[in-house]
Amino acid sequence: MEALEGDFLETKEGLIFDVKGDCHPPDRIISFVRYVPDPEGDRKKKGRAFRKIYDLKERYQFLKKHFPHYIYFDPVFQQTLQGVPHKNLKIVYYPREKLRELIAHERDAVEESTVQLAQRLNIPTEALGVSGSVLVELHTPVSDMDLVVYGKEVSIRAYEHLAALREKGIIKAFNHEKASEIARFRWGAAPEALVNMEQRKILHGLFQEKDYFFRLLKTEKQTRTYGDIQYVPLHKATVKATVADDANRIFTPCRYELEDSSIEEVSRIVSWRGRFCEQAKKGDPITARGTVEKVLTAADEYYHLILGEEGDFLLPHTIEPGDHL
């Protein structure tokens, strides 16, 4: 069963997971619990209440206590992950199908803005999808609009269109207060350099006074075979370097090639988390903290720094992590 970043899964127990990555074991889909049934929850769907779990640590704690069979040790990624076995699947939610459905049917205010934003990009509808709470019909009137674009060239075009829409004022950067809130949530503090960074990002912002976020995927379907590449997490590390190539900074996963790295064997930073997209540009001196991984392929082995866990960061040298995070 194929699944991509941006897809969502519903289990037989009613748990809703968001899919991570594009490479999954043969018997399950790597994904993290996002919405859980809760009588006190503020999200409603078909008469049932749900709540959203934001914090990654809390997601593990919830599953460990109530549904431990969704936590497993992955032998390829060499770490404990969350994932839904195929036998426990009830529904797979696909973003492209959801967009087609929204276009064809009556929409509420959030759905209407989402469709209008998608149509502003002037790219084929089949290359676009709607993810997040709108995809699983658990959005509220103040929910974000989460969109996914599929394919490298189309994603580049979409990004260029977004930049043009920003220039015209059709989409807007977050104001200082909102950008400060995002910086504190993501990085633990909101010095002016981080606030400005969040305001400059094109992949998130405001459309019709609603928050939006775009995820750009290079592929339209799963292209990697599970087990072809082995990942061996080694240790946490902080790297100082200069960004040598930022061509993949807009994609999920984002990637930054490095030069003058303080850890000689680490010449690349990778992350599947959207907060690290557009975080640095070519020529920027940066400081990053994450996990050093050895990556083993049939023909090669190399090391990279992967970011995504609590406490990981990618910041300009001008921000001192010890002072702010």
Output 37-41 pairs: Cβ under 8 A, ≥24 positions apart. 37/13
- Predicted TM-score (pTM) of the model is 0.93
Torsion, Cα of 108, 112, 115, 116 (10° steps): 180
Chain centroid, CA 239 distance in Å: 22
The per-residue pLDDT for range 241-254, each reduced to its tens digit, is: 999 999 999 999 99
Residue 261 has a CB neighbour count (10 Å cut-off) of 19
Which residues of the chain does CATH 2.40.50.140 include?
230-324
How long is the chain? 325
The per-residue pLDDT for range 236-293, each reduced to its tens digit, is: 999 999 999 999 999 999 999 999 999 999 999 999 999 999 999 999 999 999 999 9
The fold for domain 230-324 equals OB fold (Dihydrolipoamide Acetyltransferase, E2P) (2.40.50)
**% of the chain residues with pLDDT over 70:** 98
